[in-house]
Structure 1
Amino acid sequence: MIPFNKPYITGKELDYIADAVGTGKISGNGKYTRLAQQFFEEKFGIRKALLTTSCTDALEMCALLLNISPGDEVIIPSYTFVSTANAFMLRGAKVVFADSRADHPGMDEDSIEELITPKTKAIVIVHYAGVACDMTKIMDLASKYNLAVVEDAAHAIDSYFLTPAGEKKPLGSIGHLATFSFHETKNISSGEGGLLAINDEKYVHRAEIIWEKGTNRASFFRGEINKYGWVDLGSSFLPSEVTAAFLWAQLENMSQIQQRRIEIWERYDQNLRGHVENYGIRLPEIPDFATNNGHMYYLIAEDGFQRDFLLKEMKSEGALAVFHYLSLHSSEYFASKHDGRELKNSDLYSDRLIRLPFFYELAIDEVDRIASKLTEILERYAFA
């Protein structure tokens, strides 16, 4: 059975973990934490990067930094993982869900303005599959209405937004705040783990305090103050040095990892494009303003029946394909809180999207075999 995902190990992870253990400091904010944070700041132009135990924690830090409180409204795409909404609802926010684009599962930028009210405090966008939202439109809206923008870049390491002027901006460096994930399903992994990117200087000092459990401990360790204490709300958001050391081994090899993942994505696309559309299948679309970081290769089935048939038959043929998110606006928890708007594109992707097996060690002949089997299954479905 070809699995859906298999974490990639570069070979240096255990060496760096042993080195971290040997230093006698494994509780966090040590050598490997600093190396990883510096990597993001230097490569992607992030003003301040802070490692976290998960992308969820980084999102919760965003909600604290933005002083989200009961009565505030936050606009979030419905087609996303629950953490994107949870982080803000935990602070009492009213989440207002936006629909996806018709051509891509990412947030429909043109639907946002009509959702803004005097109570709106932030727009949280998700770069689905590592493909950029139109950040020009979003940042212009944020400026017009004085709103904060949070980029949920969980899928989007080493992916870029291309401005109308031709400038190439790393995702996660554009919004006021951004978050990354290093879950084992991501391009760069530490098993669990995340990062908060702070791009607006006004949040930097307080972010360190929130990160350090509400204390000014980071300032103390830099020698800026002679003692530290409780000065704000916060929590234990730092990962251990063991996690950071594992992550550093991955970040050192990011170029190689990205090159391989894009090669796999392009091979899927070469095998499938022009061959499966006659069966009602839609393939990924990359807008002109976005790049592709090889995070996932997905299909959009003609309907839910076809999607379920493909998943079942792919598994029987030895390849584990999976569906993805279920619309949050119609979830068991949120349905009674939703304002009743139809979010047809989000629901369409919930019912029809299929993710194909995708990981660094997936051999090219396995990609070819998966694509070939998929085409055969579609032929069977057409005559079923």
Structure 2
Amino acid sequence: MIVPFNKPFHTGNELAYISESLKSNKLSGNHHYSKMVKEWMFKKHGLEGVFLTPSCTAALEMGALLLGIGPGDEVIMPSYTFTSTANAVLIFGAKPVFCEIHPKDMNIDVSKIESLITSKTKMIIPIDYAGVPCDIAEIMAIANSYGLAVMHDCAQSYGSLYKNEISGRQAHLSCYSFHDTKNFTCGEGGALVVNEAFRRERASFLMEKGTDRSRMLKGLQEKYSWVDKGSSYLLADILAAMLLSQLQAEDEIKKKRQELVNKYYDWVANLKFAQQLLVCQQDENKSSNGHIFYLILPTRNIRDRFIEKMDLSDIAAHIGYVPLHSSSMGTNLGYKTEDLPITEDLAGRIVRMPIFTGMTDDEFNYTISNATKILSSLLT
């Protein structure tokens, strides 16, 4: 049996919606299906100020542009994140300032943020690793006390809940990913959520190549012209058609993935060597969308050998991120591996287990059966 790391889930409505989009002859952004997606996100989660983008990377860049991030600015973020989080500010001339993560959930360690704030700090970008919400209320409290902006990188957490509200409604800006590897996908896609209403009109200018075309479409003026900076931050409507079919199946997708995560938790709890393994600590204020299940093994060597042996059994288990501070770009920015010892240690021991919405019982049982044998040989 071959168990992939990820497999995109098909709801059954994708082809019908894409076909309707094709028939409309309006395939570019901000047409029928884009509007339907935004209406659905508002109906389901109360999300307003949603701008559908070609990727979460584009959403992060658009957000940084909207907030005026530029040369001389510093932006605090975890080192344990994807490159897009840092590149979104680096391309505008700002400096990413890397913060430690907390072993409880691999998210930014809130207790370490204040010590990194300087007169140059302009923004904080926390992420939701594995779909588990970060401690956003505490982060917002710090940001508000220092007059800082918060752009929440929710690439992995669409549908996750923080205190019974979707993760992404609490920060000034939030960004989602609908990439092929995410729970809800249109192949490539994302969204910037502008929670501050006064920023939304300018966001529409940035999205439309720096033009006020949105005002013309609303009938507020006869022509549109160049009024601001901007780029093409528009998701094609034909991709929005696919995305709508995915978001409409959110409850089904979340239920299946959360069941898999719970089965992984039960499996670990019943291992005789469970005390040698770390897993994400569950929090009653946070409900994950079941994006990832990971283990943190005792050493990097054991982690690497585990992945190699799983691969020999045709089971795809992966490492997490290579910390940005110790990457070649991080080194170019002046960071050293030893600057963030907790991040470096955890990143070297983490392994992500295969999980996807359509994972069968046979695939899951084959995975944990082989994983049990391999871990037993490595840990006992």
Calculate the TM-score normalised by the size of structure 1. 0.96
Match of residue 57 from structure 2: 56
For residues 276 and 9 of structure 1, what CA distance do their matches in structure 2 show? 37
Say if 1:284 and 1:368 are closer, same or farther in 2 by CA, change over 3 A.
farther
Match of residue 372 from structure 2: 375
Is the 1:190–1:247 contact (alpha carbons within 8 Å) kept by the matching residues of 2? yes
Matching of residues 317-336 of structure 1 within 5 Å? 317-336=313-332
For residues 212 and 100 of structure 1, what CA distance do their matches in structure 2 show? 36
Structure 1 residue 204 displacement after superposition: 0.6
For residues 253 and 130 of structure 1, what CA distance do their matches in structure 2 show? 17
Aligned counterpart in structure 2 of residue 353 of structure 1, from 347, 350, 353: 350
For residues 115 and 45 of structure 1, what CA distance do their matches in structure 2 show? 33
Match of residue 165 from structure 1: none
Structure 1 residue 376 displacement after superposition: 0.6
Aligned counterpart in structure 2 of residue 272 of structure 1, from 259, 268, 285: 268
SS of residue in 2 equivalent to 1:324: coil
Residue 291 of structure 2 is aligned to residue 290 of structure 1: no
- What is the one-letter code of the residue matched to 1:178? S
Structure 1 residue 2 displacement after superposition: 0.7
Structure 1 residue 3 displacement after superposition: 0.5
- What is the one-letter code of the residue matched to 1:157? Y
Match of residue 299 from structure 2: 303
SS of residue in 2 equivalent to 1:229: coil
SS of residue in 2 equivalent to 1:3: coil
Percent identity between the two aligned chains: 39
For residues 272 and 130 of structure 2, what CA distance do their matches in structure 1 show? 21
Say if 1:38 and 1:32 are closer, same or farther in 2 by CA, change over 3 A.
same
Match of residue 14 from structure 1: 15
Match of residue 234 from structure 1: 230
For residues 43 and 98 of structure 1, what CA distance do their matches in structure 2 show? 33
Structure 1 residue 367 displacement after superposition: 1.3
- What is the one-letter code of the residue matched to 2:49? K
Aligned counterpart in structure 2 of residue 342 of structure 1, from 339, 347, 353: 339
Structure 1 residue 277 displacement after superposition: 4.1
User: What RMSD in Å do the two structures reach over aligned CA positions?
Assistant: 1.3
SS of residue in 2 equivalent to 1:372: helix
After superposition, the C-alpha distances for 1:32-61 in whole angstroms (9 at most, x for unaligned) are 101111222232222310100000000001
SS of residue in 2 equivalent to 1:51: strand
Structure 1 residue 276 displacement after superposition: 5.8
For residues 107 and 186 of structure 2, what CA distance do their matches in structure 1 show? 25
For residues 204 and 374 of structure 1, what CA distance do their matches in structure 2 show? 48
State the 4+ residue runs in structure 1 displaced beyond 6 angstroms. Answer: none
After superposition, the C-alpha distances for 1:331-363 in whole angstroms (9 at most, x for unaligned) are 101213235562122112321111111111111
Match of residue 30 from structure 1: 31
For residues 346 and 306 of structure 1, what CA distance do their matches in structure 2 show? 18
Match of residue 147 from structure 1: 148
Q: Which runs of 5+ in 2 are unaligned?
A: none
Match of residue 246 from structure 1: 242
SS of residue in 2 equivalent to 1:125: coil
Residue 6 of structure 2 is aligned to residue 5 of structure 1: yes
Is the 1:134–1:289 contact (alpha carbons within 8 Å) kept by the matching residues of 2? no
Is the 1:286–1:292 contact (alpha carbons within 8 Å) kept by the matching residues of 2? no
SS of residue in 1 equivalent to 2:328: coil
Structure 1 residue 282 displacement after superposition: 1.3
Matching of residues 39-54 of structure 1 within 5 Å? 39-54=40-55
Is the 2:103–2:346 contact (alpha carbons within 8 Å) kept by the matching residues of 1? no
Deviates more, 1:101-110 or 1:341-350: 341-350
Q: Which runs of 5+ in 1 are unaligned?
A: 163-167
For residues 283 and 153 of structure 1, what CA distance do their matches in structure 2 show? 20
Deviates more, 1:79-88 or 1:287-296: 287-296
Is the 2:137–2:170 contact (alpha carbons within 8 Å) kept by the matching residues of 1? no
